[in-house]
Homo-oligomer: A and B are copies of this chain.
């Protein structure tokens, strides 16, 4: 299916605590936060989704996101599953990754994995934003 990206981003609030990851050629920032209270701005570079918190800011150029992909994996440390959503550009690069964030390693909050599965069922394991 296809859907507007803002609709999906707002639905991601149901996932609870996330680890948002942005990677440049040589650096990585990761913040732990739910995706919540988004606001939007039309800028010359594109339509942005934004989030401001006390200690960090997040900006996403939605026009550049060509595919959204649900992905499970193995945790690097510990024997448990990771649940990610990748926001990919036309070059198939993950411009943004959102992982379900556990409390203790592998211990997700009640309902968190179910919410991820529900979003995947609703939007599709891989889909293109409108």
Interface residues of A (CB under 8 A from B): 20, 22-33, 54-61, 64-65, 87, 89, 91, 93-96
| Residues of B close to A24: CB separation below 8 A | 22-24, 93-96
Q: How many copies of the chain does the oligomer comprise?
A: 2
Give the distance to chain B from A60, nearest Cβ to Cβ, in Å.
5
On whether the beta carbons of B28 and A87 are closer than 8 Å, the reply is no
Cα distance A24–B26 in the bound complex, in angstroms: 10
Q: Which residue of B lies closest to A32 (CB)?
A: B55
On whether the beta carbons of B29 and A31 are closer than 8 Å, the reply is yes
On whether the beta carbons of B29 and A20 are closer than 8 Å, the reply is yes
On whether the beta carbons of B29 and A56 are closer than 8 Å, the reply is yes
Interface hub of A22, A24, A55, A91 (most chain B Cβ within 10 A): A24
